[in-house]
Amino acid sequence: MKIYKSKIDWWLGIVFLYPLFLGVQSIIEGKWIGFLLFFGVLFFIWFISKTTSYIIKEDELQVKSMFVVNQKIEISKIRKIEKSNSILSSPALSFDRIVIRFNKFDDIYISPKQKLAFIDELLSINSSIEVKI
């Protein structure tokens, strides 16, 4: 079993900058809600970064992100891997993404930190995967 973590882009911090600012402002004003907001946002960023991963186990790719995504894909069903900069919601913490196309019409966007090693491992299991990165 091999676990690949998601690459994390700087934009993730920007998305949460305003709630963090509101939290700090509330703390300065002596409001406890700001303390909760500030640490809640920090916890969420930490939690999402620790739980977004791509696991290759035998002939299966498991894509996990928090408690929302837990998708299992048979590696033998993967048809193509392509580079993508899509902004579609996905279990990817970076815009440096790849799209994995599997079955007839299914796809998933992910962003493994070690992209080439990840693709090489998939190819070692299914050498017929078409790669366009």
pLDDT above 90: percentage of residues in the chain: 59
The two tokens of residue 53 are 């991963």
User: What is the pLDDT averaged over residues 50-62?
Assistant: 96
Is the model's pLDDT at 40 over the cut of 70? yes
Give the residue among 59, 35, 69, 48 at the shortest CA–CA distance from 5. Answer: 48
In the sheet where 106-110 sits, what is the strand order?
106-110, 97-102, 78-84, 130-132
What mean pLDDT is predicted for residues 109-132? 97
d(CA 91, CA 8): 11
Confidence of residue 60 (pLDDT cuts 50, 70, 90): very high
Position 12 confidence tier, pLDDT thresholds 50, 70, 90: low
* Global confidence as pTM: 0.84
Q: Is-contact 30 21, C-beta < 8 A?
A: no
User: 15 or 57, which is more confident?
Assistant: 57
